[in-house]
Amino acid sequence: MSTHYYLGWFSDFFPKNLVRILKGDIAVRKSLVMISSNPSLYELDGTTERSWLDQADIKFDEYQLINYRVQKEDAQSLIKNASVIFLLGGYTVEQNAFLKEYELSDLIKKSSAVVMGASAGAINMSSKWLCSKNFGYDVDNKSVYEGIGLDDFSVLSHFDLENNFALVQDELSPLSEEIDIYVSNKDCAVRVKGDKIDVLGNVYLMSRSKIKKLDETL
């Protein structure tokens, strides 16, 4: 049964409820494979996300980081053998391009590993997502990107919906007519295990242009 975690950004560390669920889901801890969102920059990449797992006492035998220092074939092999795949936060567009260039998306979809993504990584795990300057992207025209497509919904992760409600509704309404969108702020998580979806923190569901806040289930 596949397990996917769409995370926001945690200002401190994982809360206790999330740690408890993660420890149960991550039974095999042989290899943690992290995928960079800025693969040309090598320093400190993944340090924060790894610290969340370290603080939760979720440790692995091996830690691997995929960026341009890793050859494409080696990166694909790491994905095939990963216990947990973690798409790092940061630069959504750059990570999206890297996933395509290294042909990692299908391998991630086929993997039996637990797949996690923080902020940009969570967005790229989703089926499709909106790239717009109103969401902080350096673009003139908005466009819809294809994500990995682990689950049939879109994600806007680590965004201050509460103070930008009208903007988010206006920007995402067209896409929400096609596909459900989960919108979350920092310190939030959406967990998909099989057919069950659970949420932690302030998570909203936008469907057919309507937004509602979801009750916490983790």
Tell me the CATH number at 85: 3.40.50.880
**Secondary structure (H, E, C), 77-97:** HHHHCCCEEEECCCCHHHHHH
**For residue 125, what pLDDT band results from cuts at 50, 70 and 90?**
very high
pLDDT digits (tens, 9 = 90+) for 44-89: 678 999 999 999 999 999 999 999 999 999 999 999 999 999 999 9
Please report whether residue 18 resides in a domain: yes
- DSSP class of residue 214 equals P
Does the residue 46 lie in any domain?
yes
The mean pLDDT of the chain is 95
pLDDT tens, position by position, 128-151: 999 999 999 999 999 999 999 999
Of 175, 165, 170, nearest to 204 by C-alpha is: 165
In a domain, 218, yes or no: no
Please tell me the total count of domains within the chain: 1
The whole domain housing 177 covers: 3-213
Average pLDDT, stretch 88-117? 97
Structure tokens at 67: 């960026």
Q: Quick check: 184 pLDDT over 70? A: yes
